[in-house]
A and B are shown apart, each in its own frame.
Chain A
Amino acid sequence: MTDQHPDTAPWSEPDTRPAPAAVTPADAADAARLVSFGLQPKLQPARDAEYTELLRRYREDAPFARLADAVATGLGLVVLEVSPRAGMAVTAAEDSVFAVRMGDYARRASSDAGDRFLHGLAHLAVAALAFPRPEDLADDAYIGRVTVNGVDAFVRQACSRLEERAEEQGENTDPASEAPGLEAAWRIWARRSSTGATKDARRLAGSTTGIVGKAVAFLTDSGFLQRTGDDSGGTYRTTARYQLQVRDMAGGAAMAELLDLGIVPVTDGSASLLSAEAEGDLELAEGAGLPFHADERS
Chain B
Amino acid sequence: MTAPAPANAVPSPAPGPAADEGLARRLRALACTAPLHDLDTRKANLAGEYSVYAMAEVALSAIDLVTLNMDFDTGADHDQIVARLVPRIAAQAPGRPSAEHERVARWVLENLINVGSVDRGFRAVYGTFGPDGTYVRRDYDFKLIEEVPGYGGGVYLRTTDEAVNVLVGALDTDVTSAQIAAEVKLEVLISRGRLADAQLAAEQARYRTVQYSETLRRALDATRRNVRAVDWLEAVPDMIAEALDHVADRYRHENAILTNIRKARDEAEAGSDAKAGEHKRRAAELVDIVKDCIRRHTQLQSRLLEAGPLFRAEQDRQAFAPPAARAGLDLYGQLVAPVLPLPVEQALRVTDAFFARGVGLRTPSAVRVGDLVDLLLTPPLEREHLGAEMPEPDLVATPDDSRFSEEQLAAAMELLDLEHDAPRRLSGLLAEARRADPELPYLVALLAVHAASPPVGTAYRQGEPKLLFAVDDGAELDDPEFGGADLIVGTALLDAVGMAADRTEAA
Contacts and interface: CB of A to CB of B under 8 A. Distances in A.
Interface of A: 39, 41, 77, 90-92, 94, 96-100, 102, 105, 113-114, 116-117, 119-121, 123-125, 127-129, 131-139, 149-150, 152-155, 157-160, 162, 170, 172, 174-178, 180-189, 191-197, 206-207, 209, 218-219, 222-224, 230, 232-233, 241, 245-247, 249-258, 260-261, 263, 265, 267, 269-274, 276-280, 282, 284-285, 288-290, 292-293
B358 interface: yes
A263 B342 contact: yes
B327 A258 contact: no
B338 A289 contact: no
A198 B230 CA distance: 35
B35 to A, nearest CB: 15
Contacts of B352: 102, 116, 120, 257
B333 A272 contact: yes
Residue in A150, A172, A176 whose Cβ sees the most chain B Cβ within 10 Å: A172
Contacts of B339: 121, 124, 185, 258
Given A92-B360, A209-B149, A289-B245, 8 more contacts: A113-B348, A134-B329, A152-B149, A177-B125, A184-B340, A185-B339, A187-B141, A257-B352
Interface centre among B137, B222, B238, B341 (most CB of A within 10 A): B341
30 contacts: A92-B360, A92-B362, A116-B351, A121-B351, A123-B359, A127-B358, A129-B226, A135-B324, A138-B324, A138-B327, A157-B218, A157-B222, A158-B337, A174-B126, A174-B138, A175-B139, A176-B138, A183-B139, A184-B342, A185-B340, A185-B341, A196-B115, A197-B78, A250-B353, A254-B335, A261-B349, A265-B334, A271-B332, A274-B230, A285-B311
Interface of B: 21, 24, 78, 113, 115, 118-121, 125-126, 128, 136-141, 143, 146-149, 153, 155, 218, 221-222, 225-233, 237-238, 240-242, 244-245, 305, 308-309, 311-312, 315, 318-319, 321, 323-364
A278 B231 contact: yes
Contacts of A270: 330
Contacts of A188: 344
B503 to A, nearest CB: 41
Contacts of B353: 250, 253-254, 256-257
A254 B362 CA distance: 21
A157 B223 CA distance: 11
A292 B343 contact: no
A282 B320 CA distance: 13
Contacts, number: 347
The 5 residue pairs across chains A and B that have the minimum distance between CB atoms: A120-B351, A289-B241, A222-B360, A272-B333, A250-B358
B327 A191 contact: no
Contacts of B309: 292
A290 B351 contact: no
A280 B231 CA distance: 11
A183 to B, nearest CB: 5
Contact of A99 (B155, B332, B361): B361
Contacts of A116: 348, 351-352
A128 B357 contact: no
Contacts of B319: 279-280
Contacts of B141: 174, 187, 191
B343 A194 contact: no
B143 A193 contact: yes
Contacts of B24: 172
A261 to B, nearest CB: 5
A114 B139 CA distance: 15
Contacts of A207: 120, 147
Give the residue among A157, A207, A258, A292 with the most B Cβ atoms within 10 A.
A258
A288 to B, nearest CB: 3
Contacts of B140: 174
Contacts of A278: 228, 231-233
Nearest to A131: B331
B324 A274 contact: no
Contacts of B341: 162, 184-186
B350 A254 contact: yes
A197 B147 contact: yes
Contact of B315 (A183, A192, A263, A279): A279
Nearest to A135: B324
A254 B308 contact: no
